[in-house]
Chain A
Amino acid sequence: MLRITLAQMRRSAGRLAAAGVAIVIGTAFVAATLLASGVITRTTYDSIAAQYGDADLVVGATTDDPLDLDALAATDGVAAVAPVTSTDAELTDGGRSVYQSIVPTADERLMPLEVTEGAMPSAADEIALPTEVADRLGVGVGETVDVHRDVVDDGSWQQVTESPTVVGLLDDPFGAYARTGGAAVVDPATYTTWQSDRWGEPVAVTEAAVVVADGTDVAETQAALAETVGGSTSTDAPRWAVTTDERAAESAAELTGGQDLMFLVFVLTFAAIALVVAGLVIANTFQVLVAQRARTLALLRCVGADKAQVGRGVLTEAAILGLVASVAGVLLGTALGQAALWVAHALDVPVPLPGTVTLTWQVVVVPVLVGTLVTVGAALVPARVATRVAPLAALRPADSPTTSRRAGKVRLVLSLLATVVGFGLLGAGAALGTAWQEPTLGLPAGIAGGALSFVGVAVGAVFWLPKVAAAAGRLVGASGPTARLAAANTLRNPRRTATTSTALLIGVTLVAMMTTGAASARTSLTAAMDEQFPVDVVVTSAEYGAGGEQAALADELRADVAAVDGVGATTDVSEILVQATSGAGSVANWLPLTAIDPGAGAEALNSPDVLAGLEPGTVLVGHDQAQDLGLGSGDTVELTDTDGAVTVTVAVGASGYTNYLTTDDLAALSPDAPVTGMYLALDDDVDAASAVGAIQDVVADSGESAQVTGIASQRALFDQVIDTMLGIVVGLLAVAVVIALIGVANTLSLSVIERRRESATLRAIGLSKAQLRGMLAIEGLLIAGVGAVLGVVLGLVYGWAGAAAALGIMGDVALSVPWLEVGLVLLVALLAGLVASVAPARTALKASPVEALATE
């Protein structure tokens, strides 16, 4: 049988190769993921190992019973000892600040940092900074930098500022402190002071790195050190002395134990989706192959092959295909991983990456095993169909193979059940998230419902998807006979069309869901943020007068800020504290008021609604403030300041605790009140983070004491996080979409081979080459288009439901449609459907009309 199987495989090599590509991509994905995970683990290990410099041994103890560094240094064979420790402080220069890890200097063999300019600090008022930090702060060697550090004393703390001189700039070639953004260095005595100040007491040394003297046996010194600390030579004991490699491997595992597993699970989920789609493509291919070989199979049965042998033949074929494709996939994945490393090295990524990927047995075995199993699994149903081919079929005239097997009732019932229950749960999840404000219940319900309903939709696709394709076909069929032919072709084998479209549906649904969810999240969160913080950027004076009142913000600075690129509308504000009383007595002794011009203010604010109702004679009280103070719209209050008073009507506003007054009323209430700040709106098209940076620079350069706040930079950060996450997820899903599109091409070319004679007949009775090409193009468009459109619709529903379930608690969920992305997905799918028809059309056109007349 094996010889026959191999012979058949050779005959169908082209078909099998096309289907195999799906498996190659899927397994390459798995292999690359495993490799990436390995690189992450190794990079973490390398950076941890780098922290120990060239240490040979690491000694550890507990905080209760810390290490005595002098005793360690005095141990036989020890050349140098340094504590493994770090503290932190805020470094500033002018308006720029960096929160920085700090380590003490040590024997150069134990310092992973290299001095690129200047020297290591050697006195109390000296410091060495990472080059990037010095650049960010704008300081060079010889200049001073402000260090703000916390000093805890008897339970109370205060911040002290010192100004040491920068004596050196540092490079971190091994990425020892890459995870903490580099490390600044001070001399050990200063370090000890800073660290004990930080915690209010001297901090015990619990870990130390040791360099063994030249010519001394490391194992001997290890034993000696273990004796010195009174512990063992493994970390099982509370006190220990182990080799650096051992310690680094252990800390790396501790540090990333959860994280790299999460990464692995996260990415492998997408690999699994890609493999499911690949499985659908394989199943389709084998179904067609079995149908095309019906006569050969029947002949085999005629000459004595039993059912099991025929079925086994198909499965053997699948196993060989799966194995070959998976091995190719591992090779491709490894090549991709290595290429990614080269690119990363070429781009000088700040993280020190290994030069080559490491092939572990898992990287090879797991994808090969999974790929082969998926292929064989996908061939199970076709194998069963093959066993049903009756020996008699060999004697019948060869007609187009019949594959219109009816899908089972069980399948219909199960898929209906899953769909109905799933969508019910999904709806409940969305309702729980919005109406009941229970995202902890709503989200799991929504996820379970979404997954269940999607399984139902995919499993039941064979029942309804061809009908949708039929409706779509009728629409395009109206355009002419070519389109009608194409529409009829997509319908002649509902199961095949359904499987092909479903493969695409899966990927497109997930992509659409992610983009819709992200768009809804962005819109909802932006709306919520606008309401809470209605201003892009606020610049306020950080100077206070003797009585605690805010000082004026210099006119010159305000002009400079307004001139910064990207700053749009601005408006001046005065913030004052006034006394408020009503007929019933005191309302508030210190009511904060922001005086603003309603017209100019509306332009500078993100949401003009915030100032709705503000006019001379009214005070706009934030709704939370109004609730706290027991004020309602229409109440009358008298506002009193040292220099004046006004009586105004209360209007309850949209903001929470910010209260607004017009500048006109301010003139009456507090004629001498200075302008203490300004509201800025950023232009829509500017990069918020860089605009805020530019404003900060202007403020820092002015020498004035002023504060720059506002949500612009946070929002930009937030957008960036959403965009990055979305980009990663869509990128990962794209693999599944690519595989599905290969499936469309494969299905089309299989159909074309099956319809060889029919194509020839059509050509004989007057179908032109262009019409034949057009027919196949429309078929490709129909299959891809139906999958893509349904996927987008489903994805929108899932994305909205997910956003409602997760974000309902933040307020009204805005359901937005990411038109651009949706349009892009549809365009890509349709174009791919079109492209998928090119190669099959070429094959179909090769069939000369003469073949229609040939008898066999």
Chain B
Amino acid sequence: MDTTVYVPIDDDAPGAVAPSDQTPAVRARALTKTYGTGQAQVRALDGVDVDFAAGRFTAIMGPSGSGKSTLMHLLAGLDSATRGQAFLGSTDVTALGDKALTRLRRDRVGFVFQQFNLLPMFTAEQNITLPVELAGGTVDRAWFDTLVTTLGLSERLTHRPSELSGGQQQRVAVARALIAQPEVVFADEPTGNLDSRAGVEVLSFLRRSVRELGRTIIMVTHDPTAAAYADRVVLIADGRIAGEISDPTPEAVLAGLDALRSLEAPVTGTPSDDGTPAGA
């Protein structure tokens, strides 16, 4: 089956999917993950090759069960791969033991969760600085102030999570993910538990942190509106890369998804029938 339903660029080399002029922050090579054995075996990821450029905001999109979360878990070193490699910079994440992975997550990776996952007994400030403290480092106050100001949390630092709105909680979580200045931030459905206004807020912050603060963010989402905030959308279906959209709009993303859904039927032509620029 041809999974590359949407060919964005003319170059067919797998490593050159990214339209970036920089070294990729994260790379996957033949990344495969299977669950179970024998008849019950499920191939969640099937030899994925993909690059994520540094200083960019990339969204991974796909229908439920497409393998987008699994891809993120493997890239972030949260789960072990069955085959293939995942690189963070030049580090092969799949070759690391638990200790090294813990250190990698602490020092080089940030996470934003759908459920916020703040520690209820700590204040917003304590939650934000926790990763640095776990690493035994000292908090860079200037960076902390920048983050807090950018995220509009200055007035909320002494509040506990139960005293914050969902949007505020997620902004605290974003600050926590960024405090250690990680090479990349993984966000898993960051707006899934938020109303649309709070969602827009958080997405704007994520985009600002990429544009203004120079961070790298990889976001998993199934919401086309959220994906449209990214610089680039990677589509995934049935455990394989199914295409990508650069500088997406919600409409373009929707169209891409529609194309994925119609994969069952033979696909011809381009999905961007509404004229939205697709690819570079």
Contacts and interface: CB of A to CB of B under 8 A. Distances in A.
Contacts of B189: 855
A764 B78 contact: yes
Given A849-B105, A850-B79, A852-B113, A766 B119 contact: no
B3 interface: no
B277 to A, nearest CB: 32
Interface stretch (B22-30, B130-138, B143-151, B252-260): B130-138
A850 B105 CA distance: 12
Grouping DSSP codes into helix (H, G, I), strand (E, B) and loop, the A interface class, with mixed when no group exceeds half, is helix
B208 to A, nearest CB: 22
B146 to A, nearest CB: 20
A489 B121 contact: yes
A852 B176 CA distance: 15
A309 interface: no
B134 A765 contact: yes
A400 B72 CA distance: 26
Interface residues of A, number: 29
Contact of A771 (B69, B72, B111, B134): B134
B107 interface: yes
A8 interface: no
Interface string B243-268: 00000000000000000000000000
Contacts of B103: 766, 768
Nearest to A849: B78
A853 B102 contact: no
A763 B130 CA distance: 12
A115 to B, nearest CB: 78
Given A765-B176, A766-B134, A768-B102, A852 B117 contact: yes
A257 B106 CA distance: 72
Interface in B219-256: none
Nearest to B98: A769
Given A488-B122, A769-B102, A761 B134 contact: no
Interface residues on B, range: 35 or more
B192 interface: yes
B82 interface: no
A761 B117 contact: yes
B74 to A, nearest CB: 10
A848 interface: yes
B193 interface: yes
Interface string B113-133: 111010111100000001101
Contacts of B176: 765
A766 B115 contact: no
A397 B117 CA distance: 13
Contacts of B193: 397
B49 interface: no
B119 A488 contact: yes
B101 to A, nearest CB: 9
Given A763-B102, A764-B78, A765-B130, A853 B114 contact: yes
B141 interface: no
A481 B133 contact: yes
A852 B73 CA distance: 11
Interface in A717-762: 757-758, 761-762
Interface string A371-397: 000000000000000000000000001
A853 B135 contact: no
Contacts of B119: 485, 488, 758, 761-762
B121 A855 contact: no
A837 to B, nearest CB: 18
A765 B106 contact: yes
Nearest to B119: A758
Contact of A848 (B78, B107, B177): B78
A331 interface: no
A492 B114 CA distance: 23
A492 to B, nearest CB: 4
Interface of A: 397, 400, 480-482, 484-485, 488-489, 491-492, 757-758, 761-769, 771, 848-850, 852-853, 855
Q: Which 6 A-B pairs have the closest CB atoms?
A: A766-B106, A481-B133, A761-B117, A488-B121, A492-B121, A768-B102
Interface of B: 69, 72-73, 78-79, 98-99, 102-103, 105-107, 110-111, 113-115, 117, 119-122, 130-131, 133-136, 176-177, 180, 188-189, 192-193
8 contacts: A397-B193, A400-B120, A491-B121, A492-B121, A765-B134, A766-B131, A768-B106, A850-B78
